[in-house]
Amino acid sequence: MKMPGAAARLLVGLRGRTMRSVATLLAGAAAGQLITLITVPLLTRIFSPEVFGEAGTLLAVASVVMPVAGLCLPLAIVLATDDDEARALGRLSLAISAVLAAVITLGMAFWAALADAPWGMSSGLLMFIPLLMCLATAVSVLEQWAHRRSCYTASAKVSVGKSLIGNGGKVLGGLMAPVSMTLVLITAVAEAVAAMLYLGWLRGSVTPDRTTPPRWWVLILKYRQFPLFRAPQVLVSCLSLAVPVLLLGVWYEPAIVGFFVLARSVVAAPSMLLGKAIGDVIYPRLARAAQEGVPLLPLQFKAVTLLGVVGLLPLIPILLVAPLIFGLLFGEAWQMAGEHARWMALWFYLTLVGVPCISSMPVLQIQRLHLTYTCFTAVIRVGLMYWACAIAQLDSSTSVALYCISGALLNAGLMVWILLLSAHRDRLMA
């Protein structure tokens, strides 16, 4: 079948504007990651594995609620009909996150009056969760507005600024107080700095409403797939990422949690930053392609192939010599983190390769199926982890390996499934 003229034009755009946009975001992400790689060896010599484990447990809990604090409505900003509707979605997202943060604050205050904080954390650490929720939603709203306006340079600058403030602050703060509170506090400060940087660079692009904005219930009805399906899917996905940290904290010593957190931060950060940069750019392109009736499969396949090749560069050395690398960079006490990193590398490699497919799910309007699949995979992965830790009582390395291998296989299955759905959609539109 001969590709329509619209598809040809879009592919030309992918080689031009899209690649420039990806390069811009990747430059910012790479600079931010470079700052992280420079500071992590310092942090592992300032903070003990136990401190990393305690802070990692709190941030694991926070990471479950932060992405869904606005019910994923910020993601609809790119799809909004006009700028007035996009601004209304941003305000609604911020209001929802503030209400949810207030409810969680009251709930934690009530819990603290009746019982001790879970997983050995202090009540003071837990109270950071509502603050992180609001800050994360603000950053997400501003980020999606930047992508709507194609201000990818602003996103790149924010990535660098956030990494510089976050990692530099942890080093300086750790020299004064090498405790878990320092790591959590600086994480919140970095989120606030990211929001302020976005406000500064996007100030000229945010204009007053030119028409009466839609009512909040109208917006929720129009974009109901995001709170009904995308938010639960993200919540379940984040739970499946956080539960291993919590299970390791219950069944093993805090140092094991520290090893897991360090390995995941080192291995996951490059793939997540690269994947986010690709996803942030290709999502609007896929949405426009669907509106123009352009086949999606060629665009997805091209991006998947590119990521598959690029992802092999860090994957191979991590699989071969990760314990040696971790011992040299972070100190001999952290060699066990390298064992965890070996298994995580395969998981995050397939996560990275599947980013173009995941980005196309809202465009294909299969978020309900995505939610079902995510629940299915979460049950399998968490069940395996629980069986390894609590029932079989395997060592921590084997437990982590089961969790990561299952994640890699399930990510591969999801990617193939979405490509098949895209091929079916393209055939129907041919």
pLDDT of 260 higher than 50: yes
Average pLDDT over the chain, rounded to whole? 84
Residue 78, amino acid:
V
Report d(CA 172, CA 48) in Å as an integer.
16
Confidence of residue 12 (pLDDT cuts 50, 70, 90): very low
User: No. of H helices and E strands in the chain?
Assistant: 18, 0
CA distances (Å), origin 428, targets 241, 415, 424: 36, 20, 6
- What residue ranges in 188-250 does DSSP mark as E strands? none
The rounded distance, in Å, linking the Cα atoms of 289 and 318 is 37
Q: Crossing angle, helix 152-176 and helix 180-202, to 10 degrees?
A: 150
- More confidently predicted of 293 and 4: 293
Residue 74 has pLDDT above 50, yes or no: yes
pLDDT tens for 166-190 read 999 999 999 999 998 999 999 999 9
Measured CA to CA, the distance from residue 254 to residue 262 in angstroms comes to 13
Cβ neighbours, 10 Å, residue 6: 15
What pLDDT, on a 0 to 100 scale, did the predictor assign at position 117? 56
Q: How does DSSP classify residue 127?
A: T
* Residue 153 confidence (pLDDT): 84
Percent of the chain's residues with pLDDT above 90: 29
Quick one: DSSP state of residue 119? Answer: G
CA 329 to chain centre: 25
pLDDT above 70 for 268: yes
pLDDT at 206: 62
* Distance between CA atoms of residues 386 and 389, nearest Å: 5
Q: Confidence band (pLDDT; 50, 70, 90) for 18?
A: low
Residues 306-322: what's their mean pLDDT?
Answer: 87
Distance of CA 66 to the CA centre of its chain: 10
Residue closest to 276 by CA, chosen among 19, 35, 108, 25? 25
Contact between 146 and 206 under an 8 Å Cβ cutoff? The reply is no
> What is the spatial distance between Cα 391 and Cα 256, in angstroms, rounded to a whole number?
18
Gap between the Cα atoms of 301 and 205, Å rounded = 34
Closest CA to 50 of 148, 163, 192, 179: 179
CA–CA gap between residue 257 and residue 416 (Å, rounded):
33
Contact 59, 262 (CB under 8 A): no
Q: What is the DSSP annotation of 289-335?
A: HHHTT--SHHHHHHHHHHHHHHHHHHHHHHHHHHHHHHHHHH-GGGH
The predicted pLDDT at position 57 comes to 83
Mean pLDDT for 329-339 is 86
DSSP characters over 44-93: HHHS-HHHHHHHHHHHHHHHHHGGGTTTTGGGGGTT-SSHHHHHHHHHHH
- Can you read off the two tokens belonging to residue 42? 């310092």
pLDDT given at position 252: 86
| DSSP H helical ranges for 387-395 | none
Q: For residue 288, which amino acid is it?
A: R
The mean pLDDT value for 296-323 works out to 87
SS3 content of the chain, % helix, strand, coil (to 5): 85, 0, 15
Distances (CA, A) of 282 to 53, 175, 228, 250, 360: 35, 41, 24, 40, 8
* pLDDT attached to residue 1: 38
Interval 348-380: pLDDT, tens? 999 989 888 888 888 888 878 878 888 888 889
pLDDT at position 119 over 60: no
Can you give the pLDDT at residue 345?
A: 92
The whole-number pLDDT of residue 205 equals 63
Q: pLDDT tens digit string along 54-68? A: 888 888 889 889 999
Which residue would you say has higher pLDDT here, 153 or 291?
153
